Amino acid sequence: MKKLILGFILSSFLMVGAACSTDTTQTTATSSTEQKQQTITVTMTLIEDDKEITSKEITADKSATVLDILKANFDVKEDKGFVTSIDGKEQDAKANKYWMYYINDKEADKGAGEMTVADSDKIEWRLNAFK
């Protein structure tokens, strides 16, 4: 009789342990799914005079701005909210050459610090002379 009761208690603990283990796995899977929903993947490319300097596929927070993403992945200098240098490539006011950014081949209509992007967007920073 003692063996029967002891066996029952032991099997009860095993079933409770298995149930707890399953719950933890589901929580981990849910957290992982939630994390994926909060991130996006974008491609950021630097171009000077129509020649590609570099291109990176970047995973970023969904709420990150274009400027946040740029600063997190490149060495950036700015003046009064305007990007003046990226990875040592500086604008040249005398040559009328400035950094401008485009999203999916369209010139942005907001400052980089205000613009958020969507998953799979292509962001290009172009250092070109304006004529």
Q: How many domains does one find in the chain?
A: 2
Q: Are residues 66 and 125 in the same domain?
A: yes
**Residue 23: predicted pLDDT:** 46
**119 and 102 in one domain?**
yes
pLDDT at 30 over 60: no
**6 and 67 in a common domain:** no
Residue 93 domain boundaries: 39-129
111 and 60 fall within a common domain:
yes
Residues 97 and 54 in one domain: yes
Residues 106 and 109: their CA atoms lie apart, in Å, by 9
- The pLDDT > 70 percentage for the chain reads 73
- Res 131: pLDDT: 76
The per-residue pLDDT for 54 is 97
Q: What CATH number is associated with residue 121? A: 2.170.130.30
Report the pLDDT value the prediction gives residue 122, as an integer from 0 to 100: 98
| Residue 78 shares a structural domain with residue 125 | yes
81 and 102 housed in the same domain = yes
Q: DSSP letters of 30-98?
A: HHHHHHHHTEEEEEEEEEETTEEEEEEEEEEETT-BHHHHHHHHS-EEEETTEEEEETTEE-BTTTTEE
- What pLDDT shows up at residue 109? 94
Could you report the per-residue pLDDT of 32-74, keeping only the tens digit for each?
Answer: 555 567 999 999 999 999 999 999 999 999 999 999 999 999 9
Same domain as 54, residue 32: no
Both 44 and 19 in one domain: the answer is no
Q: Is the pLDDT of residue 29 over 60?
A: no
CA distances from 29 to 24, 52, 60, 96, 119 (A): 9, 39, 20, 52, 21
User: Measured between alpha carbons, how far is residue 120 from residues 37, 41, 76, 86, 126 in Å?
Assistant: 13, 6, 23, 22, 19
